[in-house]
Chains A and B, each alone.
Chain A
Amino acid sequence: MIEGILIGLQTALSLKNLMMVMVGCFAGTIIGMLPGLGPMTAIALMIPITYGFEPSTGLILMAGVYYGAVFGGSTSSILINAPGIPGTVATSFDGYPMAQQGKAGKALAIAAYSSFAGGTIAAIFLLIAAPSLSKVSLAFRSPDYFGLMILGLTAVSAFSAKGHFLKAMMMVVLGLMLASVGQDTLSDIPRFTFQNMNLSDGISFVLVVMATFAMSEALTIIFKANDPTRVAKQISLSQLGSIKLDKEETKKMVTTIPRSSVLGFIIGVLPGAGSTIASFLAYGMERNFVKDEEKQKFGKGSVNGLAAPETANNAACSGSFVPLLTLGIPGSGTTAVMLGALLGFGIQPGPRLYQTNPEIFWSVIMSMYIGMVILLILNLPLIPYIARVLATPRTFLIPLILFFSVTGIYLMSFNNFDIYMMIGIAVVATILRLYDFPMPPLILAFVLGGLMEENLRRSLLISDGSWSFMYDRPLTLIIMLTILTIVAWQIYSGFFKKKS
């Protein structure tokens, strides 16, 4: 292994490859900030360029773009509440309120440090445990994945403020209902399309996330423009704040980062789980770990609430390389694109990769760590400039947010129908938000809807229609018991603890 690491370091530290990581990180950050263009698009755009290079150089460039785009997505989540990718939705829960409180610089710095720490810890895990972890990831079966999805959705109880549990559950169901629109994945039978061709492909994630987050946020700001409490918030929007973290904030991050990294990495290793579930679970887990005083700050600009999902999503990004490199199974859409690129280079990822092409296997792992360092060096000095977006007067910022949202959808479909649907969802979301119906559970449910149905389908078919799959295997049973514990804890803390 030491020999492999040295080969990897030698390849990754060559001048050409270092340049590639830098270019990739920078380009990825810019592309990730644009609405509708997430890491998957960013990597896809790079594929034609990478074919001009050696496989290891091409992969290093793509890895840099990947991390850069994830960080870029976090930036738009924090500054304008517009998460371009599912993995950065949880970042906006506390990042955006922090920016509203005049701490945009600090929020971006926390995101940068957490991403760096999460990615670094995960890269070390990857270095040590990649081959053996691939066996663990194969132990997960459909019932376990289904359980994992429910666990993710149960975590919504952590996102919704106390007293809004049922509202959160209604939003979960609404998110799953929206995800069920379109052709059934297995049989191609149209569902809830009402014979409208525009709905046969389903509703796009970018459409829903832009409508429920960016667009409805912009409309809410205008809607509540005369609200005295809102006016006070707007004044603080023009303040960028320092990017320096004080002792207390650093202390909070020091406790959050290790546990979120471990969770993020493990979730990332599981094929199909990815950074979205990792970030949501890390957010929910962190809320349950912190003291009651800090718990109250969740959703209102908590340092722990921002650091946890940011750490986890980057750790999951590294983790998702485990099934890709060791088994040839892409853990996410983004790694699926990378698998395509690898195959294009004539490389077959799998258990034999690090024997047949050790320079590729290890150089990608080493370049991940180098990418993290470069991302931090590149982005920290840029934070004050990036954060200036918030200093834009509201009269300019709101139309620009609406324009970015519409553009995001237009770029994906070139279709008026999607724009109208987005406006309709945004209007409904604005009204729902007005009465404290939380949007994050809706988004998570929407993202997980397809996967959840797929795994439930497999589980029920395997068990011949019996629901016994939920407790047949020890792993599924553990997941289900965890879910029950979370629900019981939420009921206890919501009702009984309050009464006492």
Chain B
Amino acid sequence: MKISPSKIISLLFFIFSGFYLYTAHQIQVFTFDENAAFNAKTFPIYLGYAGLIFSALYIILPETKPSNVDLTVLDYKKTITLVILMILYGLTILRVGYFLSTSIFLVLSYIVLGERKWLWIFFLSFPFVAIFMYLLHGLLNIYLRDPFLQLIGVMG
């Protein structure tokens, strides 16, 4: 028997709702609030039940419009590589600084997606980020932490 992916997702949502409901019951409210008509856990408890009901209905009822996805044509390699690059970008943005980490992220992403016009790759990374930074930091006065630029003395 083949189970549709949408039903599997609904089953996961059912489990998630169960966990959410359990966690909602664990919320510590003030003693004087325990028997109040509404306290910090009232709304989450309703939500937990709503999640259980809707996901259970989807699992039980027949699908009126099943989603057909051809998994063989999906490009897993590039997508996963981009996600990893974003995680690395997130990891370095505070430590290395906005300018360098953003520029390197852009260069690597262009290359991963198959771009080989090197002049454009350069222009749409380092100078582009510099202009963007000037707009934010210089004109709009939005603080951007950048240890790298501070190290080389470009930023105060």
Contacts and interface: CB of A to CB of B under 8 A. Distances in A.
Say if A and B assemble together: yes
Nearest to B30: A187
Interface in B3-60: 5-6, 9-10, 13, 17, 20, 23-24, 27-30, 33, 36-44, 47, 50-51, 54-55, 57-58
B69 interface: yes
A167 B47 contact: no
Nearest to A169: B54
A189 B40 contact: yes
Nearest to A161: B65
B113 A403 contact: no
A289 interface: no
Interface stretch (A95-103, A222-230, A265-273, A476-484): A222-230
A189 to B, nearest CB: 4
B74 A180 contact: no
Interface of A (DSSP majority class): helix
Given A167-B6, A226-B75, A410-B98, A187 B33 contact: yes
A399 interface: yes
Given A224-B73, A225-B75, A437-B9, A457 B38 contact: yes
A381 interface: no
A416 B83 contact: no
Contact of A174 (B5, B6, B51, B76): B51
Contact of A187 (B29, B110, B140): B29
A65 to B, nearest CB: 13
B79 interface: yes
Q: How large is the interface on B (under 10, 10 to 19, 20 to 34, 35 or more residues)?
A: 35 or more
A82 interface: no
Interface in B97-156: 98, 102, 105-106, 109-110, 113-115, 120, 124, 132, 136, 140-142, 144-145
A243 interface: no
A191 B44 contact: yes
Contacts of B23: 192
Contacts of B47: 173, 176-177, 180
Contact of B90 (A173, A174, A180, A423): A423
Contacts, number: 172
A235 interface: no
B102 to A, nearest CB: 6
B84 to A, nearest CB: 10
A496 interface: no
B80 to A, nearest CB: 10
A191 B57 contact: no
Interface string A29-63: 00100000100000001000000000000000000
B6 A219 contact: no
A162 interface: yes
Interface of B (DSSP majority class): helix
B140 A45 contact: yes
A411 B142 contact: yes
A166 B5 contact: no
Contacts of B24: 191-192
Contact of A394 (B50, B58, B87, B113): B113
A395 B40 CA distance: 47
Contacts of B30: 187, 189
Q: How large is the interface on A (under 10, 10 to 19, 20 to 34, 35 or more residues)?
A: 35 or more
Interface string A391-428: 00111101110110011001100101001100100010
Interface stretch (A15-23, A362-370, A459-467): A459-467
Nearest to A421: B90
A420 B145 contact: no
Interface in B70-91: 70, 73-76, 78-79, 82-83, 86-87, 89-91
Contacts of B98: 410
Interface string A128-172: 000000000000000000000000000000000111101101100
A320 to B, nearest CB: 25
B65 to A, nearest CB: 3
Contacts of B136: 411
B106 A400 contact: yes
Given A187-B29, A225-B75, 20 more contacts: A170-B55, A173-B51, A177-B20, A177-B44, A189-B30, A191-B41, A224-B73, A224-B74, A226-B75, A227-B73, A396-B110, A399-B106, A400-B106, A403-B105, A411-B144, A414-B145, A435-B6, A435-B69, A436-B67, A461-B37
Interface of B: 5-6, 9-10, 13, 17, 20, 23-24, 27-30, 33, 36-44, 47, 50-51, 54-55, 57-58, 61, 63-65, 67, 69-70, 73-76, 78-79, 82-83, 86-87, 89-91, 93-94, 98, 102, 105-106, 109-110, 113-115, 120, 124, 132, 136, 140-142, 144-145
5 contacts: A162-B65, A170-B51, A191-B44, A396-B110, A410-B98
